[in-house]
Amino acid sequence: MKSFLDISDRKPWVQNEEGLLAFAFHPQFKTNGLFYIYYSQQAPKRSVLSEIRVSKDDPDKADLATERIILEIPQPYWNHNGGAVLFGPDGYLYLSLGDGGAAADPHNVGQSGHHLLAKILRLDVNSRTGNLPYGIPRDNPFVGKDSKGNPKADPFDTKPEGLRPEVWAYGLRNVWRMSFDRETGDLWAGDVGQDKWEEIDLIVKGGNYGWSVREGFHDFKNQKAQGKLLDPVIEYPHNTGLSAECQFPDHTPGICVIGGYVYRGKRIPTLRGVYVYADYGMGTIWGLRYENGQVTAHGELVRPNPLHPIASFAEDRDGEIYALIFDGKIYELVEARNVTKP
């Protein structure tokens, strides 16, 4: 097997949740050869979003000498780095950032407009805004606007309580994997919880998802929120003792949500339109059907198996879904008998 990219000499992994966390091809990769990675670095501790080009001599090998650093985000701790990078149907790059780690959002970045942590960013990698190595789309929700609502020449010219113009959505603890529904364009995200609740969110422009004022549907910290808080699509508890308090009391428990994809393949017709997600610790795979603004069905697709911790999902060009598991294998989601589907 040939290696396309190797950054092991940079030692991106030092502790637990650090490492090479995301990889995405530019929408015009076939013609420009560009791709993007998100990884950890030390001294100072930070996360790096970079653009790299494939080698001119070998289209199957990355040329690390072409690396262009787009963004470096200081990280106070080793955990909650976020780590989803993908391009939307609009051609812009979306990046999820966690709240920086430790526990209980110690620096209160979730509701802070002046930090990039605990946010989803939307960047234009094809342009530049001022001296920045990236562009800020003029229709981002928090770009500075004048009294008539028109974008200012300086997108950072916002009110003191405004949010950074790179921000697309905020109030998110640690989104680990998000995806666009290839048919509707909806952006789905799995936001990893703290000690009690895991949640799935539909990410919308300018949305505030509540962390750390609340976790899931539940109050968490007594602090001021910025504007209206948006509810999760679904939540599930860390143990059955919390089921009575859960908005979905029949949802089986888990400890760390893994965001997936809305199934748009053809091999499992009964699953079309179902959002597939999982739990890292339990190895469970669930599906939910979301119609007219509410969950109309949900249930287990693959029963719990803690020996198969699911780290991520992938989708091929035909809409089929694959699970990436820490046993070194990739599994395709296929139809089986005696498995309840939503």
Query: Residue 30: which H helix or E strand, with range?
Result: helix 29-32
The pLDDT tens digits for 225-254 are 988 999 999 999 999 999 999 999 999 999
Please say whether the beta carbons of 324 and 317 come within 8 A: no
CA 162 to CA 304: how far, in whole Å? 43
The sign of the dihedral angle between the CA atoms of 185, 71, 118, 223 is: negative
Q: What are phi and psi of 176, to 5 degrees?
A: -115, 95
Nearest one of 168, 277, 281 to 233, comparing CA atoms:
277
**Sequence-separated (6 or more) residues with CB below 8 Å from residue 236:** 197, 198, 199, 246, 248, 251, 252, 253, 254, 257, 279
The pLDDT tens digits for 249-289 are 999 999 999 999 999 999 999 999 999 999 999 999 999 99
Longest distance between any two alpha carbons in the chain, whole Å: 61
Give this prediction's pTM: 0.96
Please say whether the beta carbons of 167 and 155 come within 8 A: no
Model pLDDT, residue 114? 86
CA 100 to CA 76: how far, in whole Å? 6
CA 174 to CA 199: how far, in whole Å? 11
Other C-beta atoms lying within 10 Å of the C-beta of residue 134: 20
Structure tokens at 117: 């942590």
pLDDT band at residue 338 under the 50/70/90 scheme: low
CA distances from 182 to 185, 189, 262, 315, 319 (A): 6, 14, 8, 10, 8
Other C-beta atoms lying within 10 Å of the C-beta of residue 228: 9
Q: What are phi and psi of 241, to 5 degrees?
A: -65, -20
The helix/strand/coil state of 269 is: helix
Type of residue found at 115: H
Mean pLDDT, to the nearest integer, of 51-60? 96
Type of residue found at 227: G
Supply the mean pLDDT for the chain: 95
Find where tokens 């969110």 sit: 201
Min mean pLDDT across 27-31, 160-164, 195-199, 222-226 is at 160-164
Q: What are phi and psi of 29, to 5 degrees?
A: -55, -40
The pLDDT tens digits for 60-104 are 999 999 999 999 999 999 999 999 999 999 999 999 999 999 999
For strand 187-191 and strand 197-203, is the pairing parallel, antiparallel, or unpaired? antiparallel
pLDDT band at residue 156 under the 50/70/90 scheme: confident
Nearest one of 204, 298, 301 to 247, comparing CA atoms:
298
